[in-house]
């Protein structure tokens, strides 16, 4: 089994961030500690959040 990814790098406070994207990334990091069967719901929720966020960005 391969190594699990670590937390995303700290981008610093001067980088523009989006709260929904940050929350989705945190949920993916947290999902790494769950059993594989439980990770699926976390991944699906993060995917949906990212998809919706990108759709709203495209509309602006």
For residue range 18-58, list pLDDT tens digits in order. Answer: 899 999 999 999 998 999 999 999 999 999 999 999 898 76
- What 3-state class would DSSP assign to 21? helix
Kindly indicate the confidence band of residue 9, based on its pLDDT and cuts at 50, 70 and 90.
low
**The pTM is what?**
0.66
- Inter-residue contact 21 to 29 (CB < 8 Å): no
How many beta carbons lie within 10 A of that of residue 29, not counting itself?
A: 16
């Amino acid at each position: 089994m391969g190594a699990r990814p670590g937390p995303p790098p700290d981008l610093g406070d001067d980088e523009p961030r989006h709260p929904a994207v940050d929350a989705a990334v945190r949920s993916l990091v947290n999902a790494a500690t769950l059993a594989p069967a439980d990770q699926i719901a976390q991944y699906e929720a993060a995917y949906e959040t990212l998809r919706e966020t990108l759709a709203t960005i495209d509309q602006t």
